Structure 1
Amino acid sequence: MNEFDYVAAARQRTGSVVELAQDLVRLPSRGGIDDYQPVLDCVESWLADRALPHRRLFDSDAGLVGLLVEIAGKRPGPWWGLDACLDTAPFGDEEAWSFAPTAGDVVDNWLLGRGAADSKLAASTFCHIAEDLHRHTDRLTGGLSVLLDVDEHTGQFGGARAYLSDTRTQRAAGIMIGYPGFEEIVVGGRGLWRATLTVHAPAGHSGSSKTVTGAISRAARLVGLLDQAQLPGPDSRFPLPAKVSVTAISGGSGFSVVSDRVDLNVDVRLTPAFDEVAAAALVREAVKQVDEEMPGPAPTEVSVVASWPPFQLTPKDEPAAAMLRAADSLGIPLATKTAGPSNIGNLMSAHGVPATAGFGVPYEGLHGTDERARLTELPSVYALYHRTVLDLLQAAPPA
């Protein structure tokens, strides 16, 4: 053939990709629940058998949080990255599953089990692409990093943070995150500002002849103010509105005691028109109003838990542009999307690393019951990432 057929080459690789993904799915690696060592050992053994250069990533608190594969080209230039998480969401009610959460079986061209979609199939794909490139490093300008991280589903993003803080790492000029979903790539996402609010009140007996305003009543007023907050809507800079949600409330006991403390979790989704300063001001103003209307024995405490900004690439920004070029050349209709939830792309963007996310195989049951990933589109997914990476590394296709 006159032009390299990426899809045909990918079909020759997909059997091995699925085999490694099956091995990974059969090793439970639920974020914050399971030991990550077995799933990382599995990948590390696969990499070592193929002499692919890799090393472990550590976090001072969490320990081993990922593996980093580094394929260096013979010519100097920027590095680019692929990222897929190896930890997963919890199983939930296992009795509700129609197959074992760690089945790892292929039935009717679907890979079954927790992590099949998010994101062990992507991790296997990226390992195989690294192997492809390692055979032809003389053609590469710059290099490719493949981050295989854990501690992602806890929300701590330990593997990504370890990658960003490691002084030996070749910082990527851009990174592509292998979340599933075949019809679009995510090129942006709302940011977040999260805080725990601690509401105080005098303790008392619910049957007392004295009127006692408890912490639950004060907290309810605070929730009402936050629910009624007026936030900026979409504009020409960003297609999604800001959003505030009270996501958890805890406090109180029994029936006869008026609670003296309630804790609220508040999640604010940020946009360019409503940043972390605006979010903090909104919440603190609501807190101030409640403390003035319904005074307590101590001011309501605001403890910020996490914050990162929104991000958004244009179709002309790399690596999004390279993915769109690859999709066009392969005849894959591919749209771009700015997502409501945050993802590792927000973290990368906050550290100056532009990111895409969300191109992979179709899926069902993500984070829910009967998670599975369809393999029909796997050759096209593989081909698109393979072609994108070669484009970014200024490499000619294989002979």
Structure 2
Amino acid sequence: MNENLQAVATGRCLSVLDLAQELIRLPSRGGIDDYGPVLGVLEGWLTSQGLSHRRLHDDTGALVGLVVEVVGGRPGPWWALDACMDTAPFGDERAWSFPPTAGDVVDGWLRGRGAADSKLAAAMFCHIAADLQARAADLHGGLAVLLDVDEHTGGFGGARAYLADPQAARPAGVMIGYPGLEDLVVGGRGLWRAVVSVHAPSGHSGSSRTAVGAISRAAHLVRLLEAAELPGGGGDGNQGFPLPPKLSVIAFHGGQGFSVTPDLCELNIDVRTTPAFDADDAETLVRKTVAELDAELPAPRPTGINPVASWPPFRLDTHEQPAAALLNAAVAEGLTVRAKTAGPSNIGNLLAGKGIPATAGFGLAYGGLHGIDERARLAELPQVYAVYHRAVLDLLQAL
């Protein structure tokens, strides 16, 4: 394919920017704002371009996303581009140097919540879909653009609804438009999470009775968990996976006021998993450690463990699709992009659990992600646009 896609992208960038600015000016914080207005803007634009699209709802009927579809004229696999339309909260708005919904451009940076994650990517992907619509008859399979509005909640309802939608073709792979110019995320650690309930007799804090309270028992459990041995990182001992597993106690809840020794303390446990230390290994380790606590410091009720989430780790080789298409397209557009396995989990883990390969984390350079003064640098927008455009074309033209 010898097309000058960067020239095409340059011609589209002003329209991409206009759409992204309109989206940023409409707050769509995950779990806080109404998503109807921001999706309505996209629906109006998609309708103007003659692009087929429909809203996605979860089992309760809640709006969780929008899917755009370009149907190729020849048989072949479907591929998907994915960008979230909900955002992180604003946080302390007084700490921002500009309004979180500014949507303006200053010194080459698009500013506002969602500029980096991921309204600019959503605008870009919609334009790429419009570009492909004009040549759909010659394409194999099809392209779906998923615009998720249940991502920052951690529910990933848009992705789940898309995969469960009987009208949607199952994608052969997904490219997620998270930001970051230097890396293409081709993998990520998985996770296993649980709420651990530590019990003890309650009583008055001034009582002369000596008893180990729930908070003290829970603190001892934290020490035991932090001392637990996990496999080392990298090498054959971790099946070649470049990151080690990690266990964190991320919440500690118990007690109220000053006069009562509580009978319950709850811990939130987050374990990041790898192929050599999976969810079963994580649960086994936590249960073994809890049994050690109950043996050392007995209580009237055994410590409870309530698993709440589990995703597998994933990692694509650089020759696997869609990673290969994006990496090759980056080279063709003059960018040096490294394949990276990320520590945090992402939608790629959810997709991996469904047997669907995914990439993430290639996009524009950014600042303030999930923090104050979120922004995205526009200088490389033509190149990034051309990379995704080229990658999708390569996949849809392959026999």
1:11 is aligned to 2:10: yes
The DSSP-based 3-state class of the residue aligned with 1:174 is: strand
Give, in angstroms, the shift of residue 28 of structure 1.
Answer: 0.5
Match of 2:271 among 261, 268, 272: 268
**Match of 1:37, as an amino acid?**
G
Residues 205-214 or 175-184, more deviating: 205-214
Cα deviation code 1:107-159 (max 9, x no counterpart): 11111000000000000000000000001111101100100011100101010
- Residues in 2 aligned to 1:62 and 1:341: alpha-carbon distance in whole angstroms: 30
Give, in angstroms, the shift of residue 221 of structure 1.
Answer: 0.6
- Residues in 2 aligned to 1:43 and 1:228: alpha-carbon distance in whole angstroms: 50
1:316 is aligned to 2:319: yes
Cα deviation code 1:52-108 (max 9, x no counterpart): 001111101361100101101000000001000000000000000000000001111
Give, in angstroms, the shift of residue 261 of structure 1.
Answer: 0.6
TM-score (norm 2): 0.97
1:183 is aligned to 2:182: yes
1:248 is aligned to 2:251: yes
Q: Give the equivalent residue in structure 2 for 1:90.
A: 89
Match of 1:374 among 377, 389, 399: 377
Q: Give the equivalent residue in structure 2 for 1:299.
A: 302
Q: Give the equivalent residue in structure 2 for 1:228.
A: 227
Q: Give the equivalent residue in structure 2 for 1:135.
A: 134
CA, structure 1 residues 324+76, in 2 after alignment: closer, same or farther (shift >3 Å)?
Answer: same
Paired positions, count: 395
Match of 1:358 among 354, 361, 367: 361
The DSSP-based 3-state class of the residue aligned with 2:118 is: helix
Identity of aligned residues (%): 65
Question: For the Cα contact (< 8 Å) 1:212–1:258, is it kept in 2?
Answer: no
- Residues in 2 aligned to 1:154 and 1:4: alpha-carbon distance in whole angstroms: 40
Cα deviation code 1:173-208 (max 9, x no counterpart): 000000000011000000000000011111011111
Give, in angstroms, the shift of residue 297 of structure 1.
Answer: 1.6
Q: Give the equivalent residue in structure 1 for 2:344.
A: 341
- Residues in 2 aligned to 1:213 and 1:249: alpha-carbon distance in whole angstroms: 17
- Residues in 1 aligned to 2:371 and 2:293: alpha-carbon distance in whole angstroms: 38
- Residues in 2 aligned to 1:62 and 1:297: alpha-carbon distance in whole angstroms: 43
Q: Give the equivalent residue in structure 1 for 2:290.
A: 287
The DSSP-based 3-state class of the residue aligned with 1:15 is: helix
What 5-or-longer segments of structure 2 have no aligned partner? none
Give, in angstroms, the shift of residue 45 of structure 1.
Answer: 1.1
Question: For the Cα contact (< 8 Å) 1:62–1:158, is it kept in 2?
Answer: no
**Match of 1:366, as an amino acid?**
L
The DSSP-based 3-state class of the residue aligned with 1:43 is: helix
Root-mean-square deviation (CA, aligned residues, Å) is: 1.2
Residues 288-297 or 185-194, more deviating: 288-297
- Residues in 1 aligned to 2:165 and 2:302: alpha-carbon distance in whole angstroms: 40
- Residues in 2 aligned to 1:34 and 1:298: alpha-carbon distance in whole angstroms: 42
1:389 is aligned to 2:392: yes
1:210 is aligned to 2:213: no
- Residues in 1 aligned to 2:294 and 2:310: alpha-carbon distance in whole angstroms: 25
1:103 is aligned to 2:106: no
The DSSP-based 3-state class of the residue aligned with 1:194 is: strand
What 5-or-longer segments of structure 1 have no aligned partner? none
1:63 is aligned to 2:66: no
Question: For the Cα contact (< 8 Å) 1:99–1:370, is it kept in 2?
Answer: yes
- Residues in 1 aligned to 2:332 and 2:34: alpha-carbon distance in whole angstroms: 42
Deviation beyond 2 Å, 4+ runs, structure 1 = none
Cα deviation code 1:206-257 (max 9, x no counterpart): 1111102110001001111111111111233200000000000111112221
- Residues in 2 aligned to 1:55 and 1:22: alpha-carbon distance in whole angstroms: 23
The DSSP-based 3-state class of the residue aligned with 1:222 is: helix
Cα deviation code 1:21-71 (max 9, x no counterpart): 001100101111111111111111111111100111110136110010110
- Residues in 1 aligned to 2:353 and 2:165: alpha-carbon distance in whole angstroms: 16
The DSSP-based 3-state class of the residue aligned with 2:269 is: strand
Residues 313-322 or 57-66, more deviating: 57-66
- Residues in 2 aligned to 1:168 and 1:199: alpha-carbon distance in whole angstroms: 46
Question: For the Cα contact (< 8 Å) 1:186–1:337, is it kept in 2?
Answer: yes
- Residues in 2 aligned to 1:340 and 1:395: alpha-carbon distance in whole angstroms: 32
TM-score (norm 1): 0.97
The DSSP-based 3-state class of the residue aligned with 1:376 is: coil
